[in-house]
Every structure is written in structure tokens, then in C-alpha cells.
Chain A
Amino acid sequence: MTITNAPAIDELPTNDADPFSSDVLEDPLPLHLALREAGPVVYLNRYDVYAFARYEQVHAALVNWQGFQSAAGVGLSNFRYEKPWRPPSLLLEADPPQHDAPRRVLQKILSPRSLRRLRERWMADAEDLVDQVLADSTEFDAVTALSQAFPLRVFPDAVGLRPEGRQNLLPYGDHSFNTFGPSNDLVAKGADTIAELSAWVNAQCQRDVLSDGGFGAQIWAAADRGDITHDQAPLIVRSLLSAGVDTTIHGISAVMYSFASNPDQWQRLRTEPGLARVAFDEAVRWESPVQTFFRTATMDIRVGDVVIPDGKKILMFLASANRDPRRWATSQHPDPDKFDLTRDPSGHVGFGMGIHQCIGQHVARLEADAIITALARRVERIELAGTPRRHHNNTLRAFGSIPVRAHLA
């Protein structure tokens, strides 16, 4: 950790908090409020970085890839000066022009039109899973029984992974997302096993172990067509495995928690099952499974009254932007802290925005739509059956457990 003197700009508010401390990870909302109120740009003394917590600046930085780059890393570590812990992602940690070809190839493979062929099967899979869970007991842990079980059932199959070793996906993803923060206890916790997990993940990215027709095989086929190089193919498969599992799981947990703690909204969904898609995006806005990402200034860049120097890291609080009353408070919906299906969550930055916007967002929406729709068909009322437990991660807002009780329709 580096502590340097705060820049000598009178207008620049500073904050001493550690956004990656246990207290903040347990409940980040007070820090988000403080940062939003402090100003459009805040300097975080502890890590010598700048912070955006208001919607306007977060959105502007996300879309402005020319001024706020990703290739220097989207975590605290600055790849201009530090060696990344693994070969950088060709998508998340790349800028144009290198970013273009991988993005184009994967975007097509994961486009809504390409996913149509999966829809029916995933809907049926979700119904099977919900039937199994409810047959077992109407009291269950929504995290393990649904949020983890469903993506782990359908997504690795869609990628084309072998059955063996899939349990490695969770700790690998959890560690990857921890590494975007500082080298704290959360990173240390994964240090012993990460070499082995990485080796397993890298082995699953090779073409001979990926089944025909899956997302993985389609990526290799794109390399055969020359749309990407053969060297790029395994790294693009790796992106699916790093970014496509934990995020979706925590997104589904978010919507489960949202409904279990807002029974009136479940009633609304029951009368209008078509709201499942809106419900998921509203939950992604409200909980923001991906809380933060960094960018790096590519030049001295002015934001409001502040000039952020070239090469400095900027921490974007997506979660805070998603509850910024400056963007979200309207006469009809005055309280952005409320989970509300009558709100239009369009434009939230929970999936990011711009050229790096979550490439798997349509996959996540399809998975969530399937599980919410299946549950709404069987369950009349859902409520918390105990106190949910948070799972801490430097980047993700997650649950370790959400005990729920379902009342069958």
C-alpha cells in the first residue's frame, strides 16, 4: 500500500475509509452515501486513488474508454507498473484496438439471438430444479439450493465443460474478483489454492476438452475462421469461466433476497409473471452484485473542478451510482433504496456500460428469468426464515446464505 500526499486541490474532498475493509463490505451503503454527498470526485487517502460514486461520473467514465482505460487493470493494481497475477483478460483488461476482435466474437456467441436455442431447455431445467427443491422442503437456503445450483447446472454445460472438477469454478471466481482489491486477508485466503485452481481452469480452456457446439467450441471455431487468433481462444474461454459464474450466482441471490425481504413485490410478480426480467435488473440495480471496478486515466483528465493526473487509478462505485438519488429519485419513485418492480431500472450500471458492458448479461438474464419464472409458478409467498449471511469479496456483493420459507401456491 502506498500513502502519498493528497493532491493539493482545495475543491477535492478526501475520505480516509478503506472500501475493502470488512465493515464496509458488510454494509457499504453508509460509505456510498458519504462519497456521493462529498462531491463528484473524492480522493481516497488510503489507496491514493480517486473515487466516483455519483451516477453521472460513473456512467461518463464507463463509456469514455478513450480517457479511462482498462488495459492498466480494472483493479487497484496498476499494470503500467506492476505485473498482473495472471495473463490479463483480452476483454476486461484490454483497450481498443486489441479489445475489438475478442469482444466482437464473444458478443455474437452470447447475443440474445444466439441464446434463443437455450431458452426452452433452461426454462425446463429451472422447473425441474424448483420441483426438486420444494419436494425436499419448503424451507431452504436460497443461495445453495437455487442461486448456486441453477447456474452450476446450466452454464458449464452451455460452455461445454466436462463434468469433473466443476466445483473449482466457485473458488476460482471468488479469488479472481478478490484480486481487483488490495492484497488483504480476502486475497491471502485464496493464495494457497489459486495455482492449482488456475491450472484446472486453464486446462478447461483447451479445445480438445470442450464439447461440440458449446460457447467454448464456438470460440475455437472463430479462431479457425481467423476472427481471433488461436492464441487468443483459450483466454477468451477463460473469461467465460472467470466472469460468468460468481456474478450470475450473486445476481440470482440478489433477486431472491429482494423478493424474500419485499413480499409485496413477490405478489406483484405473481400477478404479472412477465415482470421477471424487470425484477432481475431491478435487483441488479438495488444490490449491484459487481460493486466496483477501477479505471486508469490515460491523460490528465478534468472531471468537474478536478484534474485527475495521467496514470492515476479511479475507483468507480457502480453500486452507489445505482442508488444515486440524482439519477433515480423521481416523483413516482422517490426512494432509490427501495426494491420496486414499478420502477424502470433501465440504464443502471450494474452490468457496466459502453464497450466493456457485461458481455454475458443476456446469459445472466436468461438464467434469472428461468429460475424466477419457475419459482413464481409454484410459490405463492416467500419470506426470510432466518437472518441472511453476507459473503465478503473485494469486488462482489454476495450472500453466503439466505434462509427462506416458501408457501406453495
Chain B
Amino acid sequence: MAENSNVVTLKVHDISPQAAEVIAVTLVDPDGRRLPDWTPGAHIDLVMANGLTRQYSLCGDRWDAYSYRIGVLREPASRGGSAYVHETLEPGHLVGVSAPRNNFPFVPAKKYLFVAGGIGITPILPMIHQADLIGADWQLLYGGRRRESMAFLQELAKYGDRVRLHPQDELGLLPLAEFLGPPDPNVRIYSCGPGPLLGALEAVCSEWPRHFVRTERFVAEEHGPATHEGPFEVELARTGTTVTVTPEISVLDAIQAAGVEVLSSCKQGVCGTCEITVLAGQPDHRDSLLDEDDRAAGDCMYVCVSRSCTDRLVLDL
């Protein structure tokens, strides 16, 4: 089943500047295959050659099944994540990628109010695309430190006056209260941006029912488990064998090569068929299925894509 074993490795196809410190990186399958499906609000984990893992929202077009696009801001205090992407990554390089996961799902509504701060525009872009597609009413308030630092302005231009740009150096802080207005049962608010913006938004929205207001906070750069770039061992507790998982094969491949039957289906970490109970060790989850609580529990994994953070995993097989 080697045909699918590279699903977690993608190739940098293109890097293009989008604003002063923002680049868009387009990723494709090295063999030109379809990529796993995603929905607006989804992110991928990018596993870099320096061993760091960073999360980036997908901001491309899901009707193109062959590429992912992410927007990456060079963070001044970067410890190697965004700095690596900006300085080292080049077209042709290979990067590890998780299956897309969505903690910021786009829910059905008649009207949407989007508030983006800085690079927080990235998950909002595909939401806008879809809101427009289904003919929902929507407005975007987009803030940044200055106009030149605000990415994807060219793409947003086609939406005309539905988009309000608000560079801080010209116009000051975002006029949240005026933009959002009073609570409205037909409206859902989506916002992504830095902590202070989301704090201000929460304060302005204190009268809104909780689920009307959906936000995504930037993940701190320090966050993200160290992943295992080299080979690791997987012990099959019931079978009594231990297999070695080298970087070019999946845990599933390694288990099957040892003659142990594991049912699987999608081989993309999407369907859930190959769930295996983890008895010891810390899985490096790269599937689409588990939410943060599930992941923290660490008691199961999808062996078609997920790997290991520890030198050894013990599975109930």
C-alpha cells in the first residue's frame, strides 16, 4: 500500500509575497494526487525539516482539490517556525503535513459579520468565498497595523464595499460596536486575530448568545508537540511483536508488514476506520477526526496517518 504512504508529505509549489511580512505558500502532492478534503476554518499542522510543528489555516480554494494555500506572517519573536518558512522554505522543498482539522467550523446562517485582525484574515477568506457562493449577506471588517502589512487585499477587492479595511495607523482601533450592532438571531460573528482584538470583541459582544460569536485565537508559536523525525518503535502488545516505523512508511504499513490485520479505508485520517487503542507512548496525531480533548486523552490513534512523539508506542493489537 505504498501508494498512500506519502499522504503526509507535500511539496512546496509556490511562494508569493502578499504583504510586507506575509507570504502565501502553495503546497501540492509530490505526485500530483488529490489532497484530503477540507472545510473553511480548517488548519493543517506543518511539520518542518527543523522538527518544529506549526498550525496554519487553509486559505485557498477547496474546489481545487490539488493544492493547499497557507498565509504565513513572519513573527518578530519567531523561534524558528515562521522564520523557517520565510527564510528557508523554497519551491520544491518537502514538508510534513497533517490531515486538515477544523476547530473553527463555518455554521449555516442568513448573515455573517467577519472581523479579521492581521494574519487572522486567513481562515476568514474561504468563509467569505462560501458565504458569497450561497448568497448569504455578509460584511468584513479587516484591521491591520498599516495598509502595507495587510495581506490578500487584491483578492478582497472584488467584493467591493462588503469589505471595510481599517489600517490602525490611518484609522485607529477597529470600530467593533458600530460594526457589529445589537444582537441579531440571524447573524453569526466570525473573528480571528490577536488576543487583544478577540478580548475587545468579547467585551462588545457580551449581550450576544455565546454560540453566535465564533472566534479563533492564534496558536502561540511555542505550542505544538515535538515530533519524531527519525524511526520509532511500535510494540503490538497482544501480538507480542515490535515493528520499526521509518520516516517513509506509515504506522499502518509497518503493522501490516508484520502480518497483523488492521482494517482501514480512506488512508487520509478522515474516515476513522483504522482507530487503534494506544496503551503507552504519545501519538503524534495527524488525522482530521480527534478534537483537542480527544488528542489530549492520547488513548487512541489513526494509524494510517498519525505517528509518534515518543521513541516508542504501545498499541492494543
Report which A residues bind B (CB closer than 8 A): 63-66, 96-98, 100-101, 104, 111-113, 225-229, 232, 275, 277-278, 281, 344-348, 351, 353-355, 357, 361-362
Contact = CB atoms under 8 A, between A and B. Distances in A.
25 contacts: A64-B34, A65-B37, A96-B62, A97-B39, A97-B40, A100-B105, A101-B105, A101-B108, A104-B39, A112-B272, A112-B275, A113-B300, A227-B105, A227-B107, A229-B108, A275-B261, A278-B261, A344-B261, A346-B262, A346-B263, A346-B273, A354-B37, A357-B265, A361-B273, A362-B272
Interface in B18-77: 34, 37, 39-40, 62-63, 65
A345 B271 contact: no
B188 A226 contact: yes
A161 to B, nearest CB: 25
B13 to A, nearest CB: 19
Interface string B190-234: 000000000000000000010110000000000000000000000
The 7 closest A-B pairs by CB, nearest first: A226-B211, A346-B264, A97-B130, A112-B275, A100-B39, A112-B272, A225-B211
A361 B270 CA distance: 13
A345 B212 contact: no
Contacts of A345: 263
B107 A278 contact: no
B134 A97 contact: yes
Given A97-B130, A346-B263, A351-B265, A111 B108 contact: no
Interface in B131-179: 133-134
Interface string B283-301: 0000001100010000010
B256 A228 contact: no
Contacts of B209: 226
A2 to B, nearest CB: 30
Contact of B266 (A226, A232, A357): A357
Contacts of A97: 39-40, 106, 130, 133-134
Contacts of A347: 264-265, 267
Interface string B92-110: 0000000000100111110
A386 B129 CA distance: 60
Nearest to A344: B261
Contacts of A353: 265-266
Contacts of B272: 111-112, 362
Most buried by B among A97, A98, A357: A97
Nearest to B304: A346
Interface of B: 1, 34, 37, 39-40, 62-63, 65, 102, 105-109, 130, 133-134, 188, 209, 211-212, 256, 261-267, 271-273, 275, 289-290, 294, 300
Given A100-B39, A112-B275, A353-B266, A226 B107 contact: yes
A64 B294 contact: no
A240 B1 CA distance: 33
A168 B47 CA distance: 52
Given A96-B62, A345-B263, A353-B266, 14 more contacts: A66-B63, A97-B40, A97-B106, A97-B134, A112-B275, A113-B290, A113-B294, A226-B209, A226-B211, A344-B261, A344-B263, A348-B265, A355-B37, A362-B272
Contacts of B34: 63-64
Nearest to A60: B34
B105 A104 contact: yes
Majority secondary structure, A binding face: loop
Nearest to A111: B272
B108 A232 contact: yes
A124 B39 CA distance: 39
Nearest to A224: B211
Nearest to B291: A108
B107 A228 contact: yes
A111 B264 contact: no
A64 B65 CA distance: 8
B265 A66 contact: no
Contacts of A229: 108-109
Nearest to A98: B134
Contacts of A348: 265
A252 to B, nearest CB: 17
Contacts of B109: 229
Contacts of B263: 277-278, 281, 344-346
B256 to A, nearest CB: 7
Contacts of B62: 96
Most buried by A among B1, B39, B106, B265: B265
Contacts of A232: 108
Most buried by B among A96, A228, A281: A96
A108 to B, nearest CB: 8
A236 B195 CA distance: 36
Nearest to A99: B39
A47 to B, nearest CB: 29
Contacts of B212: 226
B102 A104 contact: yes
B61 to A, nearest CB: 10
B289 A111 contact: yes
A95 to B, nearest CB: 10
Nearest to A225: B211
A273 to B, nearest CB: 12
Given A345-B263, A354-B37, A101 B107 contact: yes
A318 B39 CA distance: 26
A228 B294 CA distance: 22
Contact of A66 (B65, B102, B256, B275): B65
Contacts of B266: 353-354, 357
B215 to A, nearest CB: 14
B300 to A, nearest CB: 7
A66 B66 CA distance: 11
A98 B40 CA distance: 12
Nearest to B136: A97
Contacts of A111: 272, 289
A310 to B, nearest CB: 15
A347 B1 CA distance: 10
Contacts of B275: 112-113
A228 B107 CA distance: 6
Most buried by A among B1, B39, B264, B271: B271
A103 to B, nearest CB: 9
Nearest to A343: B261
A351 B300 CA distance: 23
Contacts of A278: 261, 263
Nearest to A110: B272
